[in-house]
Amino acid sequence: MTMIKPTLAIVALAYAFPGLANPIDTAKSIEHDTNHSSANSQQKVDRSAESAIKLKAQIEQLQQETKNLRIYRDHVQAMVESQQQEIANIDEQIAQVKTTRQGIVPLMYEMLDGLEHSIQNDKPLRRQARQNRLHKLKQLMPRADVSEAEKFRRILEAYQIELDYGTKLGTYRGRITVNQSQIEAQVLYLGRLSLVARNLNRSQYWTWNTQANQWQALDSDAKEGIDHAFKVAKEKESPSFLSLPVSLKTAEAK
């Protein structure tokens, strides 16, 4: 009952003094507007702070992207410089290759001429196989689908085979010309020191006479030594001393 009295007093004052009501309402309105403005201002501050944080994050992201782009630019620039250097090196190598080809191609033809001359003037040792090899090399030379390096390699390979003929003991089957007649025979060579042959039934034996440039018949005394050499060449007997006629020119024998 005691707390109702102030309220009644205020109401009574308001009725007693009607002019006091408007300032109070105005004050309340101002206070309300102030609070509302403060709330709006705070919201704007909050939004501005949030925008500032987002903007800062975007700036940091853009700075990182700028840094990455700068690093990538430097990387690409270095690659371009390296590629330009590589292009210069390739151009130089191409020029060198052109110069080398201009020198190597005539050399290869000279080597083929030398190989042909060697075959024609050598003993008839695997002559057909050697001529076939030379023919294939000549056909290879103008082919555009084969590199100059491969052509040169095969010519060197042919030369190596020619060298091997001068150091090995070997046999093969082929035709020999005796008194203008073709005879199927087994041929044995010991390097270029000795070249002998026998017919298939082993009834006749020959040796290549380098001085006369023809096959020369052997007597029966040479049969045993030649047969033994054939067995050694075919690995049917152990290597031992061989007795074979020598096929050398006078100048080669000295």
Residue 92's pLDDT band (boundaries 50, 70, 90)? confident
The better pLDDT of the pair 12, 249 is held by 249
- Which residue has 């074979």 as its token pair? 244
CA angle 84, 90, 91 (to 5 degrees): 90
Residue 69's pLDDT band (boundaries 50, 70, 90)? confident
Percent of the chain with pLDDT over 70: 84
Given a cut of 70, whether residue 254 has pLDDT beyond it is: no
Distance of alpha carbon 207 from the chain centroid: 51
Residue 98's pLDDT band (boundaries 50, 70, 90)? low
Average pLDDT, the chain: 83
Least confident of 27-31, 60-64, 120-124, 199-203: 27-31
Given a cut of 50, whether residue 20 has pLDDT beyond it is: no
Q: Output the pLDDT for position 2.
A: 46
Rounded to two decimals, the pTM is 0.59
SS3 state of residue 210: coil
Residue 18 is classified by DSSP as: G
Residue 1's pLDDT band (boundaries 50, 70, 90)? very low
Overall average pLDDT of the 205-220 stretch: 91
Overall average pLDDT of the 77-89 stretch: 82
Q: Which amino acid is at 84?
A: Q
Q: Which amino acid is at 104?
A: I
Overall average pLDDT of the 35-43 stretch: 75
Q: Output the pLDDT for position 229.
A: 93
Given a cut of 70, whether residue 7 has pLDDT beyond it is: no
Q: For residue 125, what are the contacts with CB-CB under 8 A and spacing of at least 6? A: 165, 187, 189, 192, 195
Q: Output the pLDDT for position 18.
A: 52
Q: Output the pLDDT for position 26.
A: 75
Tell me if 200 sits within 8 A of 184, measured CB to CB.
yes
pLDDT in tens, 124-177: 999 999 999 999 999 999 999 999 889 999 999 999 999 999 889 999 999 999
The better pLDDT of the pair 40, 244 is held by 244
Q: Output the pLDDT for position 112.
A: 96
**What residues does 188 pair with on adjacent strands?**
171, 196
